[in-house]
Amino acid sequence: MNSVSVGILGFGTVGTGVVHLLTQEQEKLQQQSGSNIHIEKVLVRDIDKTRKINFADNRLTLDPDDILDNPKIDIVIEVMGGIEDAKNYIFKALKNRKHVITANKDLMAVHGTQLLETAADYQCDLYYEASVAGAIPILRTLTDGLSADRIQKIMGIVNGTTNYILSKMNRESVSYEEVLQEAQVLGFAEADPTSDVEGLDAARKMVILSHLAYSVPVTLEDVRVEGITEISQEDIHYSKKLGYTMKLVGISELDDPYIDIRVSPTLLSSNHPLAAVENEFNAVYVYGKSVGETMFYGPGAGELPTAIAVVSDLISVVKNMNLGVNGHHIFLPKNEKKCKSPDSMKNQYFFRMHVQDQPGAFSKITSLLNERRISLKQIIQEPIPKQQLAEVVIITHAIEERIFKQTYQQLKDLDVVYDVKNYYRVEG
């Protein structure tokens, strides 16, 4: 049996998982890949740091070129994160004809196309299954399993931190701030949670998914992003009351030839397959023209789940090496990108207002909505105790975004409206 040598860039959480699997599961990996897989070097920041697993010090290095320029190394695994260094290292590895596996969504969302083109030029593999939804093999599902279908919509719960926070806000009557603090203590949220709670992390993953689903060169600028920091316990309360679950959802739609991609808090109807995805779990819902509804569910992060995605990619690369077909499975965008004007998108909306509790108030609201041809699907009106106000919560039927936003402004100006609150997109 031949032998394949691997260099690993990074020895953090995912790196530790990868080293664990490559050292503990050798027999399984031989059986799957047809080769002995050997770790030649691991790039670290500090050789002397105490680590979770024992690994021979003489194979740790501080110098990336010990891996990138090392003629013994066939495959480079990038699990260090960050964009600039990772990008430069991967370009160098590819130019030295080393195959690359990366778990780096930030990098692939921003420089993916360029990196994939370079890999194809040098006939190298570049696999990145771990970059989206951890252990769920969703990239392979789009490129292989559903390759015959025309994907029309993807909805993803692809950020574990925000799903954890919203699940908890949904179960217990606690505020966003309280749950965030607790999640930080438990390690489900970063000290600086911006990228997660503002939706940027999810947006990066939606770029990668949309590229594969529609074969178009999507960039981060194409994604409209809204985070979860403004969601109140009242929003959650009334969502539940109307039969919906509040989730941070990435939605990517094709209205051929136009695409629309956004990440935003969304009310999912309780019978939507994504509505039951709880806590730190991820799931991707894929709607295909021929297959209809499918959903893929699993852990979106974590040392071993993410490492399984990386090492499954590694097995594919080694199999390709044994067959001499590396660099032939690169999926480059083949179609032109046309983004849909957001104004013309039709959505259902949920919105809340505080209204003067007086005769005829509600009728003033409905006549404005009627004038703008916004028809109503569900309504709640409840007095607010000890104030002369009522809570009005409305879910509309599908309406053009432009018209909804204009009307929402006009509602503010009605004399009977005391205050307008948040609005959210509704699905299902």
Contacting positions for a copy of itself (CB under 8 A):
17, 21, 25, 28-29, 31-32, 129, 134-137, 140-141, 144-150, 215, 271, 273, 276, 278, 281, 288, 290-299, 302, 304-305, 307-309, 311-312, 314-316, 319, 323, 325, 328, 334
Closest to a copy of itself by CB, 28 or 241: 28
What residues form the annotated binding site for NADP(+)?
A: 9-16
337 is an active site residue: no
Closest to a copy of itself by CB, 259 or 390: 259
Q: How many CA atoms lie within 13 A of 175 on its CB side?
A: 4
DSSP symbols for 205-250: HHHHHHHHHH-----GGGEEE--STT--HHHHHHHHHTTEEEEEEE
Closest to a copy of itself by CB, 117 or 278: 278
Closest to a copy of itself by CB, 81 or 298: 298
- Kindly state the tokens that stand for 335: 């179609």
What residues form the annotated binding site?
A: 9-16, 105, 190
At its nearest, how many Å lie between a copy of itself and the CB of residue 273? 6
From 87, 153, 168, 205, active-site residue: 205
At its nearest, how many Å lie between a copy of itself and the CB of residue 327? 11
Counting other chains too, the contacts that 319-322 makes at CB distance below 8 Å and 24 or more residues apart are 319/33, 319/34, 320/99, 320/125, 321/4, 321/35, 321/74, 321/99, 322/2, 322/33, 322/34, 322/35
What residues form the annotated binding site for L-homoserine?
A: 190
CA distance 39 to 360: 75
Give the rounded distance of the alpha carbon of 310 from its chain centre. 17
What residues form the annotated binding site for NADPH?
A: 105
At its nearest, how many Å lie between a copy of itself and the CB of residue 393? 26
Closest to a copy of itself by CB, 209 or 225: 209
CA distance 168 to 174: 8
Interacting residues of 129 by C-beta distance below 8 A, sequence separation 6+: 137, 138, 139, 140, 309, 310, 312, 313
Q: Select from 235, 306, 248 the least CA-distant residue to 274.
A: 248
At its nearest, how many Å lie between a copy of itself and the CB of residue 36? 15
At its nearest, how many Å lie between a copy of itself and the CB of residue 351? 28
Closest to a copy of itself by CB, 294 or 378: 294
At its nearest, how many Å lie between a copy of itself and the CB of residue 89? 23
CA distance 400 to 299: 35
Backbone angles phi and psi of 207, in degrees to 5:
-60, -50
Strand ranges inside 310-374, DSSP E: 338-339, 346-356
Which amino acids are annotated catalytic? Answer: 205
